[in-house]
Structures are given as structure tokens and as C-alpha cells.
Amino acid sequence: MDAGADDLLKTPFKDLPQEIRDAFFHGTKRKITFRHGDYKFEREWRGALRAMRERIENPPSEKIKLALEELIAPVPCPVCHGQRLQPESLAVKVAGLGIADYTDMPIAESAKKFAAIKLSPRDEKIAGLVLKEINGRVGFLDAVGLGYLTLGRSSATLSGGEGQRIRLATQIGSQLRGVLYVLDEPSIGLHPRDNKRLLHTLHQLRDLGNTVLVVEHDQETIEHADYIVDLGPLAGTHGGEVIAAGKPKEIEANPNSLTGKYMSGELKIDVPDVRRLANGKRIKVNGARAYNLKNIDAEFPLGLLTVVTGVSGSGKSTLVEEILYPALYKHVYKSAVEPLAHDSIEGLDLVDKIIEIDQKPIGRTPRSNPATFTGLFTPLRELYAMLPESRTRGYKSGRFSFNVKGGRCEACEGGGMKRIEMNFLPDVYVTCDVCRGHRYNRETLAVKFKGLSIADLLDTTIEDALPLLENIPSIKKILETLLDVGLGYIKIGQSSTTLSGGEAQRIKLAKELSKRATGKTIYILDEPTTGLHFADVHKLLDVLQKLVDTGNTVIVIEHNLDVIKSADYIIDLGPEGGSGGGRVVATGTPEEVAKVKKSYTGQALKAILN
């Protein structure tokens, strides 16, 4: 390097000459000397951006690809400013608005705009059918609770529930008959108000002459069914039987149905007798104005269970996950992540730990599982290494890891599955034909604890494993927390790729619960009841209440009324979604929010609190 390079290395990147910054990103044809240990070589510097692009296109590993993708963010095109079309196309106006104007506004708003368009007799002949088709399709999207989305929203940013409801709207518009529709929890992410509109849509599909089969935990949806098939009695190895079948009233009357007992009110999640009182400490977000938030202030009392509510698209996730969480994370961990637009946040010094428990996968390959994620795998391997058979053979704990050579099956490298690359299709995983999915070689599997090899134990459900391992404190604590969050039915070594978002979130919650609490921690959860039965919601609430009882703060974004009614404090945003939302409609205890007539959450609460 040139003389003076040492000084340049000490200079902040933003203060370097533009020529050097351009060379770093885009490369230079000048030969540069590179050092690798004692070895020196000269070559052109190709630039960080080119090297990064090549690594993303041909990554040495999935891990490196994911790490690099985190450094990339889309930016609007400087020519069309994100509108995607040429100026000639953008210049065409209908009712004074271009196509980009319509695709950038919320669906509910665009539905009103399209409905208000009046065509002349001449234009009616040209565009009448097209306008009718647009009105129908936009209306269907609004009817399934998607009025807060924009028509131009990228499909990659949609949640699973939103994508499913878009496909549902497409089917309603097709007017097909004699079709079997299968929906998996269509109520996910819907406020009780929007759920009523979804139910109306499902009834429409049925009335057209179709069969609608829905997998669901939402009580209102279950009560609107013509016929129910209730499986159980419990989960995992204790389930798999048809417990009851018939109309809702018949399910309620069945003494063997856990679902029926909650529907009839025999079992229920009670409203707390006493709400916790605020201790005077709070975190206050001032002037939140990102996306549809209308320059609002919001207080989050510490030491309470706070639930943030509101219809879909009202700004809940923006306030909590895009402003509050990044600001807390930046303050506590000195992160470079910047929160979205707001004026200030008060009370940051009152928190020493912040944990967001989301529904992202705990791992992206079959190799990751609940045991590896929660730290349970380490004491399990140590347990097998201490057995007499292991000591005789000289096996250490590493022998029982399927991630390193020694005890694993080398044919599948401990994965239990082999990946088959498919041209133009996603890769397919098949069971290893050598170890038959056990991950380990024959010698390792010969070591047994209470008659179970390490592979057998990993294939055991958490509920069944607890009695076997209850005398080992480090293992018992993790298993108990997994059981407490309603995951007793999953297997210890179950592949993370087979876990739902709700299950992944509860595994993360269990991992945090098994740690020593500081008492000054804020936990943030986004719809933790996703995929949960009434009984599991009951268990989850018990766990969240325990967290608060130990001095922590729990902030939950939720639509489930059982969770909302159990809150100490509610922040209700709205009143509508999209541009009609972004305001604080009501705050306070559930009883106080229930008195606010303009709050949709309050109206729903009033019915159940009474």
C-alpha cells in the first residue's frame, strides 16, 4: 500500500476521500499487494460490491449467504422513484389519478375511489366490464380483512395469513362451484371485527355450492361451523383420535371434548380478580410518526403485562417492533439498528435487557432442533458421556454430537437426511439409507440410558422425556419450561423445519424462561397465541403472568380476547387500518377500554367482560 496508509486506516470511512471510497466499493484496475500470513501476492481489487454479489450468487455455504443478505436493503429506483413504470405509462390518468397512485393507496381507500368513478356512455362501452372486474376484486380483498394493504405491496413482505386471504379473495371472485377449499387458520392476525367479515366470506363460498374445510382454534369461527371434527384428547402421542364430531352444540355437550368444555364455558380463562397497579416507572414513546402513525405518544408501564391491540394495519407492529424495540435494543446493546421516525423515548435507563420473541424459524436446516436451540443438547451429551459404557470405550461428550466427526453417521454427516438437488425445483430431503434417520453410527447407538440410545431420546416427546430425566436439574428445568409453554407434544430432536411459527416462538420463550431473570427485562411478543388451542393459551398466559410476577415487563401484540382481557394495561390503536389508523384510540385496563365506544377492541371486550 502507499505511504500514509497507516493514517488512512485510522480515518473513519466517511472521512476518506471520495476516490478511495469509490475504489473500495467498485474496485480499481491498479495492482494492490495482498498479504495472507507470510504469503504476498498482487492483483486488481475487484471491489466489495462485486465480491459480495458473487458470493451471494454462488455462496460457499447457506450461513454465509444469509449473513450477506442481511447487509442488503432494497432502495427505490432513482429514475421511476419506485413506481416501476415509464413516464408515458404513469402519465395516463383515470379520475385524476395514475396507476401508481391507485397501487400506493390502501385497498379500502382504492375501493372507494374505484366505486366513485362514473363513466360516460362512450367510456362505459370501452371500460365498463374492466371497471366492474376491478371493483369486484378490490371489494373481495377488502371483505377478507385486507383493506389496510396497498395493491402494490410486495408479496415477499406478506405474512402467511395475509397471503392465504389474498388467495381466498381470488377464489371468491372466480365464482366456482363444487370445489373443496382447505384453509389453515385463516383467522391468524385478524382483529375480532375483521374476523366477522372473514366468516361472512367463508359463508359466501359455502353458499355458492362449495365445501369449506377449515383448521382453526378461534372460538367464533368454530361456533359458526356447520360441522366440527374435534381431534385429541391431547397433543402428540396422546392425540390422534376423533373425540367428537357434529354440530357446535353437540361438541359442547360431549364430556370427552376439551374444545367442547371451553366452548360451553365449563372450562375458561378467567378474568383476573385484581389488576397489577403501575409502579410509576414507564417507557414513553413521543412523536411516533412512521408509516401510518399520526405523531402519537404512547406510554408502556414497567412491571405490567401490556397488550397492544387494534384492527389489522392500525400501526401496532410499527410502534412496537419498528420504533420501541430497535430504540431499546440500541440503548441496551449499543446496536447500530435505527428505529423508525419518532421524536424521543423516555425511560430507557430503566431497562437492562430487551428480548423480542418472534415467530421466525429457530433454524433453517433439518440439523437444528429444540434441543440444540435451548441448550438442552449439551447436558444430554454429557449425560451419555458419563455412562459406564461410554467410559469403557473412552467416549467423550463430542462423540454424541451429530455435528462433528466421530460418533455421527458420515453418510449423511449427522443430518439424518440427505439433500437431493433438484434442477429448477426446491431441494428435496430424503431419509439417510445408512443410519435410517438416526444420525449416529452403530457404535454410538450402542450406548444406552434407561434402554434408550441418544437417537431414541431425541425422538422422544418432551412430555415423555421429563420423567426419565427429572433427576438432572439442568435438563429438568429446560424440559419443564417447554412443557409450561404447551410444547410437551413435540420431540426433543424434532427438525426445526417442521415447526410452525407459533411453535418456534414458544421454544424461544422457553429458552428465555429457563435463564435466570434479572427483573428488569422487557419481553416483546407478536401474536404468541398463533396456532394455540384454548388450553394452550391458558398455559401461555400462566407463563407470561409468572414473568411479570418476577418484576419483568411483558409487551404483547395480540388479537386474542382471552389475552387482551388478562392484560394489566392496554394500548388500543386505530380506529381503522392503513391511513384510517395510526392513532391511540384508548388506553388503560380492559375495563376502562371497554367503556370507549369508538374502540373496536373495547366493543369486543365489553361483550366478554359482562
Domains of the chain (ranges; CATH) run 5-69 (1.10.8.280), 282-360+515-609 (3.40.50.300), 370-498 (1.20.1580.10)
AA identity, residue 483: L
Residue showing cell 367482560: 609
**Among the ranges given (263-272, 289-298, 494-503, 584-593), the one the predictor scored with the smallest mean pLDDT:** 494-503
* 457-483 average pLDDT score: 94
For 520, the grid coordinates are 428488569
**Which of 317, 290, 218 lies closest to 524, judged by CA?**
317
Rounded to an integer, what distance in angstroms lies between the CA atom of residue 546 and that of residue 550? Answer: 6
* 496-513 average pLDDT score: 86
pLDDT of residue 53: 84
- On the question of pLDDT at 1 being above 60, the answer is no
Band the pLDDT of 5: cuts 50, 70, 90: low
pLDDT of residue 268: 93
- On the question of pLDDT at 364 being above 80, the answer is no
For 435, the grid coordinates are 443410519
pLDDT of residue 32: 80
Residue showing cell 387458520: 185
pLDDT of residue 366: 76
- On the question of pLDDT at 61 being above 80, the answer is no
**Which of 524, 576, 596, 584 lies closest to 298, judged by CA?**
584
Strands 569-574 and 305-309 turn out to be parallel
Band the pLDDT of 486: cuts 50, 70, 90: confident
Rounded to an integer, what distance in angstroms lies between the CA atom of residue 289 and that of residue 291? Answer: 7
For 497, the grid coordinates are 423445519
Max Cα separation, the chain? 94
* Nearby residues of 481 by Cβ (< 8 Å), 6 or more positions away: 510, 511, 513, 514, 543
Q: What does pTM read for this prediction? A: 0.80
pLDDT of residue 296: 98
**Among the ranges given (112-126, 368-382, 515-529), the one the predictor scored with the smallest mean pLDDT:** 515-529
Of residues 498 and 410, which shows the higher confidence score?
Answer: 410
Q: Crossing angle of helices 192-207/121-143, nearest 10°?
A: 120
- On the question of pLDDT at 4 being above 70, the answer is no
Percent of the chain residues topping a pLDDT of 90:
61
Backbone φ and ψ for 73, nearest 5 degrees, come out as -135, 135
The answer to whether 367 and 414 have CB atoms below 8 angstroms apart is yes
For the chain, what is the mean pLDDT?
90
Rounded to an integer, what distance in angstroms lies between the CA atom of residue 195 and that of residue 209? Answer: 22
Q: Give the distance from CA 96 to its chain's centroid.
A: 39
The answer to whether 278 and 304 have CB atoms below 8 angstroms apart is yes
Sign of the Cα torsion 62, 63, 66, 69 reads negative
* 5-25 average pLDDT score: 82
Band the pLDDT of 513: cuts 50, 70, 90: confident
For 35, the grid coordinates are 498479504
Band the pLDDT of 62: cuts 50, 70, 90: low
Backbone φ and ψ for 570, nearest 5 degrees, come out as -125, 140
CA distances from residue 45 to 7, 42, 48, 56 in whole angstroms, order as listed: 20, 9, 9, 18
- On the question of pLDDT at 428 being above 50, the answer is yes
SS3 418: strand
The answer to whether 192 and 559 have CB atoms below 8 angstroms apart is yes
Of residues 532 and 324, which shows the higher confidence score?
Answer: 324
AA identity, residue 121: P
pLDDT of residue 3: 47
Cis peptide before 17 (omega within 30 of 0): no
pLDDT of residue 10: 79
The answer to whether 507 and 531 have CB atoms below 8 angstroms apart is no
Of residues 81 and 36, which shows the higher confidence score?
Answer: 81
**Among the ranges given (185-199, 342-356, 375-389, 429-443), the one the predictor scored with the smallest mean pLDDT:** 185-199
**Among the ranges given (44-58, 365-379, 578-592), the one the predictor scored with the smallest mean pLDDT:** 44-58
pLDDT of residue 580: 87
